[in-house]
């Protein structure tokens, strides 16, 4: 039974005189709706579930606290109505998740209320301009599946020195056609090695070397104006060892010791390590680091200075929720959830991809729906493909990196054979509605061969040997290889490694330039364009690592910087060479050609509704070197045919006719007309984007 709290929103005589009686009515209606929820639902006769009932009662008990907040903050009634409507809508889900994660805590209700108030405070700090975009996005679900989205990622310091100068580059992003910009972590970091910004010492301040919070907000507003989404990281698996929380833990503050995983001796770490994977084996063996000051072991999945946060503690969830909303309120449209796989630990497991990791993310998602509904998530799970998809849903991460497509595009390029890629696309490309992939060829990280061993076996490939082959190929060790990659995290025990290198160096441009061979340069450029055309057409948001758009080569100078020397990923994170900009107009230069071709591909992608969403049907061809598929969306169709080899190929015109439902096609890229009266020929590494005419 619902009792109105004795506050201004209850039915009290003084309200009748007070001017806000009228305005408070709709809130009262909300309250009545809350009460109505306990009855069988209209028409359906479905009774409130046990979770719904408990959720309702829990929320009812918090109303006095909320009331006090509205009062103290002088919140307007329309605003209250708006946020309360969302809170009520998403609350049963959030409540259910939090009960599942933390319901056993003796002080659960305290934490629950703290979480709600953190959410409400985060919402309260949100600018009206962001709230407007929240409303638009609520009315346009799935807005991020549009063909208009094309992304770029960069490190602010390496790209333009600082945030102010980055704002001056907006015309450049527009020239390239970008509508999504991911700034690599730019928050305050620990001194020295900071893992490319992923060792954060304060989520609420910007690394002074690149600017201030104000600069970020101004940039966000300018990007919004230019129609470019802003993407930042939410590095929520760990903090730097000099974050305030970690410092407090180091000085023996009990409350903050519980923010991390600390152990007096090796007993428990040894038990965990029996089932853990080593992520950075060349940095340190195992997953724990001895801390001299505390005389304790700390859980550090990545570098020794990155301390894993303990989400078994609801206070950590609440604290990170506050940081998340703070970041969102700077004007971020999409948060990249870093290292999602690792956020929950359980003895006897790999401590990766555990069910609770999903529940934590879903809980953050529900909070976002209430406090910052325009915000969406991207999952960074560079794990087995079966696990990657488990993070993707409208209620968890609406978008996700597509590491399998990335790895298999490179695999096809090495083998000149698309069978494994085709198998994966056929079985793994579709996602739930209102979700999408983020497709990429290179990012700031290494390439790992995350395909499924059974998929490989099904097409006659031994996964173990194949990974060794791919590593040899991309580090240039394999006879005849065109690639110039560098090993990353070579594990001497298992022989495992991952690959660093820029797109252009991995695709053969570095070698071709070194050998000064015109023919090899031509092939390398074609490979670069072929991979980009695949990324732009496969379905999902394409995301480039900036510098790729003009064929940046590996930069081996990183070894001169002691903070970078131990991490080969810096080979593919060079400083942007703006002096090359002059060459971009020049078709004759390699950089100019790559840039202009990409610019054109991006433009076409954005003008082609068939590229929206993920709908894809593979077309069988007789040559394994070819990859062919139809992309369709709302009655629009485009056929994509790609030749992954340096030899010409032919595709049977009957297949195109059937797939494209026509006899004449135009290649959107070259403008060339293709008739299915005869078989269609593809040059080395050529691709076709065919549209019926």
Three-state secondary structure call for residue 145: helix
What Rg, from alpha-carbon coordinates, does the chain have? Answer: 27
**347, two tokens:** 């003895």
User: Is residue 338 flagged as an active site residue?
Assistant: yes
Residue nearest to ligand GLC (CB): 198
**Residue (353 or 435) nearer to ligand GLC, CB:** 353
Cβ at position 444, least distance to ligand GLC in Å: 6
Catalytic residue among 134, 338, 352, 496: 338
Cβ at position 298, least distance to ligand GLC in Å: 15
Cβ at position 239, least distance to ligand GLC in Å: 10
**Residue (546 or 602) nearer to ligand GLC, CB:** 546
CB 24 within 8 A of CB 77: yes
Cβ at position 563, least distance to ligand GLC in Å: 14
**Residue (115 or 341) nearer to ligand GLC, CB:** 341
Three-state secondary structure call for residue 290: strand
**Residue (167 or 444) nearer to ligand GLC, CB:** 444
Burial class (CB in 10 A: 0-12, 13-18, 19+), 284: middle
Cβ at position 223, least distance to ligand GLC in Å: 22
**121, two tokens:** 């405070």
**671, two tokens:** 């403008």
Kindly give, in sequence order, each residue whose CB lies less than 8 Å from that of residue 379, ignoring residues fewer than 6 positions away: 337, 340, 361, 388, 391, 392, 396, 397, 399, 400, 401
**Residue (250 or 379) nearer to ligand GLC, CB:** 379
Catalytic residue among 380, 396, 646, 667: 380
Could you say which DSSP state residue 618 is in? E
Strand pairing class (664-667; 673-675): antiparallel
Could you say which DSSP state residue 67 is in? H
3-state SS, 458-515, equals HCCCCHHHHHHHHHHHHCCCCCCCCCCCEEECCCCCCCCCEEECCHHHHCCHHHHHHH
User: Is residue 455 flagged as an active site residue?
Assistant: no
Strand pairing class (296-299; 288-291): antiparallel
CB 490 within 8 A of CB 497: yes
Cβ at position 234, least distance to ligand GLC in Å: 11
Strand pairing class (306-308; 238-240): antiparallel
**Residue (378 or 444) nearer to ligand GLC, CB:** 444
**Residue (475 or 597) nearer to ligand GLC, CB:** 475
Q: What are the residues binding ligand GLC (CB under 6 A)?
A: 195-196, 198, 235, 279, 302, 338-339, 341, 380, 382-383, 444-446, 448
Rounded Cα distance, 480 and 42, in Å: 70
Q: Crossing angle, helix 108-124 and helix 77-102, to 10 degrees? A: 140
Cβ at position 341, least distance to ligand GLC in Å: 6
Catalytic positions are: 338, 380
């Amino acid at each position: 039974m619902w009792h109105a709290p004795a506050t201004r929103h209850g039915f009290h005589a003084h309200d009748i005189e007070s001017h806000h009686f009228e305005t408070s009515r709709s809130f009262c209606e909300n309250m009545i709706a809350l009460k109505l929820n306990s009855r069988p639902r209209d028409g359906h006769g479905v009774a409130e579930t046990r979770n719904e009932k408990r959720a309702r009662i829990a929320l009812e008990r918090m109303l006095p606290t909320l009331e006090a907040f509205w009062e103290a903050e002088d919140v307007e009634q329309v605003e209250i109505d708006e946020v309360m409507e969302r809170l009520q809508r998403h609350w049963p889900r959030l409540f259910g998740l939090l009960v599942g994660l933390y319901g056993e805590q003796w002080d659960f209700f305290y934490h629950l209320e703290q979480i709600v108030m953190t959410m409400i405070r985060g919402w309260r700090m949100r600018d009206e301009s962001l709230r407007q975009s929240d409303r638009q996005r609520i009315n346009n679900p799935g807005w991020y599946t549009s063909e208009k989205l094309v992304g770029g990622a960069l490190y602010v310091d390496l790209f333009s020195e600082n945030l102010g100068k980055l704002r001056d580059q907006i015309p450049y992003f527009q020239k390239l056609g970008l509508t999504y910009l991911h700034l690599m972590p730019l928050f305050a970091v620990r001194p020295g090695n900071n893992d490319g910004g992923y060792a954060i010492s304060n989520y609420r301040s910007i690394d002074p070397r690149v600017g201030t919070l104000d600069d970020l907000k101004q940039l966000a507003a300018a990007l919004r104006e230019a129609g470019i989404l802003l993407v930042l990281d939410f590095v929520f698996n760990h903090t730097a060892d000099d974050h305030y929380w970690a410092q407090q833990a180091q000085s023996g503050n009990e409350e903050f010791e519980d923010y991390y995983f600390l152990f007096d001796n090796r007993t428990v770490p040894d038990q965990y390590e029996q089932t853990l994977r080593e992520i950075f084996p060349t940095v340190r063996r195992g997953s724990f680091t001895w801390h001299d000051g505390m005389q304790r072991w700390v859980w550090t999945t990545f570098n020794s200075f990155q301390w894993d946060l303990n989400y078994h503690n609801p206070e950590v969830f609440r604290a990170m929720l506050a940081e998340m909303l703070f970041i969102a309120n700077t004007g971020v449209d999409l948060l990249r959830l870093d290292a999602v796989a690792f956020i929950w630990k359980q003895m006897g497991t790999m401590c990766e991809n555990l069910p609770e990791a999903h529940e934590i993310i879903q809980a953050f998602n529900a909070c976002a729906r209430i406090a910052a509904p325009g915000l969406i998530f991207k999952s960074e799970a560079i794990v087995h493909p079966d696990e990657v998809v488990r993070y993707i849903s409208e209620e968890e991460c609406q978008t996700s990196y597509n590491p399998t497509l990335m790895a298999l595009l490179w695999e096809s390029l090495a083998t000149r054979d698309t069978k494994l890629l085709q198998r994966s696309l056929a079985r793994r490309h579709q996602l739930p509605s209102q979700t999408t992939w983020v497709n990429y060829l290179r990012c700031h990280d290494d390439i790992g061969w995350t395909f499924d061993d059974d998929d490989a076996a099904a097409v006659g490939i031994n996964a173990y040997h194949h990974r060794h082959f791919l590593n040899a190929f991309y580090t240039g060790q394999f006879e005849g290889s065109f690639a110039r990659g560098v090993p990353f995290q070579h594990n001497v025990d298992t022989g495992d490694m991952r690959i660093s290198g820029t797109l252009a160096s991995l695709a053969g441009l570095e070698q071709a330039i070194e050998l000064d061979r015109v023919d090899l340069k031509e092939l390398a450029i074609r490979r670069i364009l072929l991979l980009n055309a695949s990324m732009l057409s496969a379905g999902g948001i394409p995301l480039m690592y900036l510098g790729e758009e003009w064929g940046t080569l590996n930069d081996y100078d990183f070894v001169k910087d002691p903070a970078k020397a131990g991490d080969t990923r810096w080979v593919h994170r060079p400083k942007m060479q703006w002096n090359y900009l002059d060459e971009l107009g020049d078709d004759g230069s390699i950089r100019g050609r790559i840039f202009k071709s990409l610019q054109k591909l991006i433009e076409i992608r954005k003008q082609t509704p068939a590229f929206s969403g993920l709908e894809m049907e593979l077309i069988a061809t007789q040559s394994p070197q070819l990859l062919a598929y139809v992309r369709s969306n709302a009655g629009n169709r485009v056929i994509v045919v790609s030749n992954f080899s340096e030899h010409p190929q032919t595709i049977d015109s009957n297949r195109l006719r059937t797939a494209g439902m026509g006899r004449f096609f135009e290649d959107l890229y070259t403008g060339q007309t293709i008739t299915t009266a005869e078989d269609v020929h593809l040059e080395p590494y050529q691709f076709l984007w065919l549209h019926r005419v």
